[in-house]
Structure 1
Amino acid sequence: MADHALEFERISVTFRAREGGGQRYTAVADTTLHVRAGEFVSVVGPTGCGKSTLLNIAAGLLEPSSGEVKVFGQPLRGINRRAGYMFQSEALMPWRSAIDNVMVGLQYRGVADAQARREAQAWLERVGLGGFEDRYPHHLSGGMRKRTALAQVLALDPDIILMDEPFSALDIQTRQLMENEVLALWAARKKAVLFITHDLDEAIAMSDRVVVLSAGPGTRPIGEFEIDLPRPRDVAEVRSDPRFVQLHSQIWAVLRDEVLKGYAQQLNKPVLGAVEGAA
């Protein structure tokens, strides 16, 4: 197995507007980013800076304008078959029960229905949903739907897990429970994870490394921080660790001005200067 599960090598992404004379917009510029096998990497940056664009490239849903993506040392061509993608909004089918939703990816891969059901049931139990397999999404709480979506991804046993702000819509207590569940499952299987979040606390609490992106256009990495907090971690308790506070201060010092730039661009106003405090 290659040392790196996922490699972005000098990736740029330029979009052309359909209106306004086909004006070009460079969302991501000259970005190099590596995720090692078994490593949990979080990416933080201002709103609209292109974080989700990187995930779509990693999944093979979007082809970069220039540069190369490698998966375990091999150039990515088309859909990344070694990755599972957990979206910000649940990709559950409302007409299918929880177990049927978890089964669907296995069925698409040609797994026999009986085996797919057994594996889906095992994963639902692993994420704490034993006994809820026959419930439909509208009968599940927000946290339960997230658990179902997580089981749906993990049932495929991907070597790389791509997560796009998967817990942002949850209340803080449910969110922390889900974060701890993900960490426990990750520790057991040690898959490579590329995790997108707006929450710097979440990024530090969960990750081996945090990458900071600049404000757009032309987003690029401007800082990388090794998170040397001991594992296993409880995402609530680790926030009181003095090293956590120190890391937060260091990363926020890099991220703060980019957040202000992104905010000013959205308002079409000049940046007035830095402010203290968390994002």
Structure 2
Amino acid sequence: MSATPALALDDITCRFAGRDGGAPYTAVENATLRVGEGEFVSVVGPTGCGKSTLLNVAAGLLAPSAGVVSIFGERLQAAQGVNRRAGYMFQADALMPWRTGIENVVAGLDFRGVPRAEARQQGDAWLRRVGLAGFGDRYPHQMSGGMRKRLALAQTLIMRPDILLMDEPFSALDVQTRQLMENELLALWADDRKSVLFITHDLEEAIALSDRVVVLSAGPGTRPIGDFKIDLPRPRDVSEIRMTPAFLALHREIWGAMKDEVLKAYERQKAA
């Protein structure tokens, strides 16, 4: 792993205007987070603590109020706009319903001006890689939730991003489909080891997928309060690894760091 991280968020603070002219709301305060080249890092924390805010900062979709974002050692300037070395996979499908599967997969290549025949060839190859060979002529509404997630993965990875940003991409799926998609993601990631920043509410998912798990405090003013190395062997089957003593020990340790923060967030939500 390179000494220069693929993604560095240094002393990030994000403030938003208060309601009805009230005091500003500080969602994130002095947060520092690193993702090494080829590293899979998951971020967990209480609901509403600012996980997605940090991901949007990493994507260049949100300029922080203070702090520095660096991509492979180069500062990401607000004037540059989005982080062009990253691919973003949203919680909701970012598929165009009027396009077929293959047309959705190659949309980014179309926007880049890649010749149609070349884009189609790459798109067909990615459909095969995600297990959707023969489904390229179907529209998103004709596909299951798991198939649409595979399509979204192909749509993102065909652009060959150096960093993959994922915002709870599998949260809407049933348990069985979710585990299949987690294994699918790990298999694709193992092929070329992109740097991944993965946001999830599910601690088990975070441990099963990751090299490191970062725990955020309850908001407002969230910041990392724990950074745990996941030294489980790879390759992994996410359903099998969850039954091992080493996994259970990690779960106890990380939950110990999370529990009080989750309770704090819950009490604040009740009092709101």
TM-score by length of 1: 0.94
Whole-angstrom distance in 2 between the partners of 1:61 and 1:112: 28
Q: Secondary structure of 1:170's match?
A: coil
Secondary structure of the corresponding residue to residue 248 of structure 2: helix
CA-to-partner distance for each residue in 1:216-257, whole Å, 9 max, x for gaps?
Answer: 000000000000000000000001111100000000000011
Residue matched to 2:10: 9
Asked if the contact 1:2/1:73 (under 8 Å) is kept, the reply is: no
Deviation at 1:2, TM superposition (A): 6.1
1:96-135, aligned counterparts within 5 Å?
96-135=99-138
Aligned residue pairs, count: 268
Write the mapping of 1:92-171 to structure 2, written as runs, cut at 5 A: 92-171=95-174
Per-residue Cα deviation, 1:88-122 (whole angstroms, up to 9, x for no partner): 00000000001100111111122111111111111
| 8 Å contact kept, 1:45–1:215 | yes
Task: Give the 4+ runs in structure 1 shifted more than 3 A.
Answer: none
2:260 match: 257
- Give 1:3 deviation, angstroms: 2.7
110-119 or 144-153, larger mean C-alpha shift: 110-119
Partner of 1:229: 232
Distance in 1 of aligned mates of 2:120 and 2:54: 33
Describe the SS at the equivalent of 1:120: helix
Q: Distance in 1 between matches of 2:138 and 2:244?
A: 40
CA distance in 2, matches of 1:125, 1:81: 26
TM-score when scaled to structure 2? 0.97
User: Does 2:197 align with 1:197?
Assistant: no
Distance (Å, rounded) in 1 between the aligned partners of 2:255 and 2:86: 30
Identity %: 67
Distance in 2 of aligned mates of 1:50 and 1:119 = 36
Unaligned runs of 5+ in 2: none
Question: What is the RMSD computed on CA atoms of the aligned residues?
Answer: 1.0
Give the partner amino acid of 2:15: T
Aligned twin of 1:242:
245
Structure 1 residues without counterparts, runs of 5 or longer: 270-279
**Are 1:99 and 1:121, in contact at CA under 8 Å, matched by a contact in 2?**
yes
Decide which of 153, 173, 177 is 1:174's aligned counterpart. Answer: 177
Amino acid of the structure 1 residue aligned with 2:138? R
Rounded Cα–Cα distance in structure 1 between residues aligned with 2:192 and 2:113: 23
